[in-house]
Structure 1
Amino acid sequence: MRKTIQTLKGVVFVAGKGKECANSECEYFGQHYLACGVLKYSLPKSTYGLDILAFIGWQHEHEHQQLVEIQRQLNQRGIEINERNVGKLYRQFLALLGGTIIHTQEKLTATALEHGGLIWAIDALQPEGHGTLLYVLYEVLSGIPVSAVQLQQAQVQGLIEWLQPYKELPYKILATLSDGESAIITAMNSSWPDAAHQRCQAHFLSNLSESVLPLDTKLRQQLKADLDGLPKVPDYSERLQDQSQQQQPQSSPLFQQSPICHETHS
């Protein structure tokens, strides 16, 4: 298989050699297998890169751009595409996204069976240089990110509508977790009223550190000023030298002078 692929970074040429099962005793005898390495760049029978699919999906879902507007943006980037193909690629994007949802549900089911339920958590992030907030829903016990939504500001009703599909999932909810933002707490309590809610310990400790840090800095500065007045502590080599001088015995001369005895004759 050989084809030219348009990507956001330029045109690339890829080639892959498919294989066919030649074992007559195998149940898959004669079945043809595509070269999977090519699928890292584009879908089968497609000449557009996966990055273009992601671009179309993001622009349509998050930036609320119409297909014709996305076509103009791609044309300005040098991508040869018409509005009809933009719509086709968007449907392929939705199909890929649906596949990840099924995989996520399988992981959630396994987690619920292992722990007897799930723990939902929401974290609000603000991308650098962007005014909107990104709310991320993830399952705590497995660490699986499940969904995300961008909102201009924290709105209880908007969060409740976003959580509605996950409220209907057939899992027991053991607890919910979030920071201290009242809109998130209200939305989670409304969606799962029977589950206990707890504030995230990481956010709680971070809030405590904001008031403790200035006092800790001042204390360290005072300790440094007090310690500067003490005499210098000798380093390890100096201490070893002092010990060797104390333990070394005083050397004695090789020959000692003895008193001379003079015999006297009476």
Structure 2
Amino acid sequence: MIEKKPRHRPERHFNDAKRIVVKCERELCIHCNTKLVSLPSWHMRKTIQTLSGAVFVAGKGKECANSECEYFRKHYYASGVLKYSLPQSTYGLDILAFIGWQHEHEHQQLVEIQRKLNQRGVEINERNVGKLYRQFLALLGGTIAHTAEKLAATAHEHGGLIWAIDALQPEGHGTLLYVLYEVLSGTPVSGIQLQQAQVQCLIDWLQPYKELPYKVLSTLSDGESAIITAMNSSWPDAPHQRCQAHFLNNLSEVVLPLDTKLRQQLKADLDRLPFVPDSSERLQDQSQSKQLDRTPLF
């Protein structure tokens, strides 16, 4: 009788993974307008492989501390973690888009896509390439029954939904992959691939979700005008907020060159200073000096 061996999942270690902690972008409770309080622990954490290397991503949520609020102690999660990967997935959305593009437009087989990803330093097998391709199709396919149930439960718990759109660009191609997700539940709902941002195409894409029987509390996106116009057209009564992560990234693009120049200048100035020994070296020198003082001259 042949003994069946347990399934083996290889352990992967990414010691040089960049560390990213994403905080909930909301400042106030959407119901009572009270300032939200940060939770002490992470609501998720995982290491994600991307085309640019591995990153460790953790999400910190907040909660309403107003005991008089109907939604007291309700948690608001850091939706920004969805920019990096799907829930329960350790592969980045850029890899998902890369697989979809290679299979749909370049007509590459899954094993060929696997080899390309391996050559770029991504540890993945053919089975997981197929799994990610099916997830890519699910994003493009629209709302499934499980997602609809999750949206209904979220609307009942929070009194409505918060819609957000983010755009990804597969490396080396001009097309954009737009992803629609619900913020409060952290649920990716749909995706669409476009050659360029077109307001009417985005409005048509959002039409089925506009007709859902749930109140829309607010919408969220980056500063792309086509996305903002499409969301305001689809949900005109919902306030729109620009994603703070995108906004801060845009600010850092201006500051980073100046910061780099300042660090270079500081390094050049500090390199001219004499070397300062650390405390262990100073203690050692003092000990040797005392021993010399105690040594008899003859």
Same structural fold, with TM-score higher than 0.5 when normalized by the shorter chain: yes
Match of 1:10 in 2: none
- Counterpart among 163, 187, 190 of residue 230 in structure 2: 187
Q: CA deviation at 1:249?
A: 9.6
The yes-or-no answer on 1:130 pairing with 2:173 is yes
- Counterpart among 207, 222, 232 of residue 275 in structure 2: 232
Q: CA deviation at 1:252?
A: 8.6
Relative distance call for 1:131 and 1:249 in structure 2 (3 A) is closer
In 1: Cα distance, 2:295 partner to 2:200 partner? 97
Q: CA deviation at 1:175?
A: 0.8
How many corresponding residue pairs?
165
Q: Which amino acid aligns with 1:101?
A: I
Q: CA deviation at 1:248?
A: 6.0
In 1: Cα distance, 2:244 partner to 2:157 partner? 24
RMSD value, Cα: 2.9
Instruction: Give 3-state SS (helix, strand or coil) of 1:226's partner.
Output: helix
Q: List alignment gaps of at least 5 residues for structure 1.
A: 1-57, 64-69, 75-92, 254-266
Match of 1:169 in 2: 212
- Counterpart among 223, 241, 249 of residue 284 in structure 2: 241
Q: Which amino acid aligns with 1:214?
A: P
- Counterpart among 143, 150, 158 of residue 107 in structure 1: 150
Match of 1:32 in 2: none
Match of 1:116 in 2: 159
Match of 1:151 in 2: 194
Q: CA deviation at 1:128?
A: 2.0
1:59-98 correspondence to structure 2 within 5 Å: none
Instruction: Give 3-state SS (helix, strand or coil) of 1:147's partner.
Output: strand
Instruction: Give 3-state SS (helix, strand or coil) of 1:163's partner.
Output: helix
Match of 1:26 in 2: none
Which structure has the bigger radius of gyration? 1
Q: List alignment gaps of at least 5 residues for structure 2.
A: 1-99, 110-136
Relative distance call for 1:252 and 1:136 in structure 2 (3 A) is closer
In 2: Cα distance, 1:188 partner to 1:172 partner? 14
Q: CA deviation at 1:125?
A: 1.0
1:149-202, Cα deviation, whole Å (9 max, x unpaired): 111111111111100000011111111011111111000000001111111111
Point out the structure with the larger helix share: 1
Relative distance call for 1:231 and 1:139 in structure 2 (3 A) is same
In 2: Cα distance, 1:130 partner to 1:249 partner? 72
Q: CA deviation at 1:140?
A: 1.1
Match of 2:84 in 1: none
Which 4+ runs in 1 deviate beyond 3 A?
A: 245-253
The yes-or-no answer on 1:141 pairing with 2:141 is no
1:50-84, Cα deviation, whole Å (9 max, x unpaired): xxxxxxxx89xx77xxxxxx9xx99xxxxxxxxxx
Q: Which amino acid aligns with 1:218?
A: K
Instruction: Give 3-state SS (helix, strand or coil) of 2:144's partner.
Output: helix
In 2: Cα distance, 1:246 partner to 1:173 partner? 76
The yes-or-no answer on 1:160 pairing with 2:209 is no
Give the TM-score taking structure 1 as reference length: 0.56
The yes-or-no answer on 1:202 pairing with 2:245 is yes
Q: Which amino acid aligns with 1:182?
A: S
In 1: Cα distance, 2:295 partner to 2:207 partner? 96
Q: CA deviation at 1:130?
A: 2.5
Q: CA deviation at 1:126?
A: 1.1
Instruction: Give 3-state SS (helix, strand or coil) of 1:177's partner.
Output: strand
